[in-house]
A and B are shown apart, each in its own frame.
Chain A
Amino acid sequence: MSTPVPTVLSAPQGTSLQSPPIPQGAGSASTPSTAPARIGATQRDGSSSLGTFGVKSGLAQMLKGGVIMDVVNAEQARIAEEAGACAVMALERVPADIRAEGGVARMSDPEMIKAIVDAVTIPVMAKVRIGHFVEAQILQAIGVDYIDESEVLTPADDEYHINKHPFKVPFVCGARDLGEALRRISEGAAMIRTKGEAGTGNVVEAVRHQRAVMSQIRQASVMSEEELYVYAKTIGAPFHLLKETARLKRLPVVNFAAGGVATPADAALMMQLGCDGVFVGSGIFHSGDPAKRARAIVQAVTHYNNYKILAEVSENLGPAMVGLTIDANLKGGNFAARGH
């Protein structure tokens, strides 16, 4: 039966007085999609609405089963598109270089991002510093398709993340566990990724974060309502989002892997652990043969359960990026600890 479409709420900028939205419509959930929450939506001539949570989380759903690749110029963006990337992340320095060079990492030059937008037909994402809502306003103005409020850049605010609801452009945010993921969704993130440890070529942190999220979802899914109230407090998650997650038995938005993926096997590992898709940062353009490795990772994400294809695409890719051990001496520090 058809679901009646609720009246559109257009939230005035800077206020969100409506009851909190429950984002809907993610992934392979057994019961996805009622009409999405509409805080932040703006109306166009009375009958259509732009920037609804439905179109924000919907774009993430279209990216599922795909690979989003970090690129620093139009030429790399074209290589990524030809290799089957479902989107590119435009940035001035890949995380491995941010780590090596140090200093404050900021939003990229809008002109450089626009050159990448013009070079490809696939969606273009770009990063802003945690809490830097003006960088986000600028990226929305130049028409990027997704914003990553990213711990890879130097945080602009060590307490508050951006209130992402009033933006028409959707946001993806990193998370290390379920509480962090649901806090970001509560702030308006329409997509979640593991934080991992970017720029290391070491997948261990991404695995840790994905396992933590999945384990906590499994625990929550068998809890009584009384237990969920207490668990929400324990993990610092909004109750209504935790309850919805427990019902769906998955995050209520799309969840990608990120931070340390360097090989097709790494990508397939994250998919088998329950991710919906994969970000690859330094792993492609810091390797011996970027085009070939990019294509192999794209195939590995599609065929993540087909061991024969995984073996074929892993052959003869040339040197992978140099990996780093993640310990107290890690150059550039632990990015994943930024934001909470």
Chain B
Amino acid sequence: MEIIKIIGIGLIALIIIIMLKQYRPEYAIFISILTGILILFLVMDRLTGIINLIQSIEDKFSINTQFIALLIKITGIAFLSEFAVSICKDSGEAAIASKIELGSKIIIISMSIPIISSLLEIILKILP
């Protein structure tokens, strides 16, 4: 049922953008940003369900909670930066899009350093 809403909003926004692009191109970008936000809010409650599921699994099997929290944080960063990158590319600013992508990659790598270091420790322990 929700998918119909998402497709409907997308098509309506597309028509509005095409109509506005010839007179006021800057409003077209506003509408594309707002459509992205609107669709993300539509699927937000399912996303919370998924994240709660992950956290409940984490408690049950007592996996190292620090890594799971970090993974969820990294997904959030990727989620937001992809949102910004696609908008910048859409409006023709590929340079800004690549800068945002670069920044988000560096932040993700810097956040995942503890995971890498603990992985190396485990490997060293296993080796004779």
Chain A complexes with chain B: no
Q: Which residues of B contact A (CB under 8 A)?
A: none
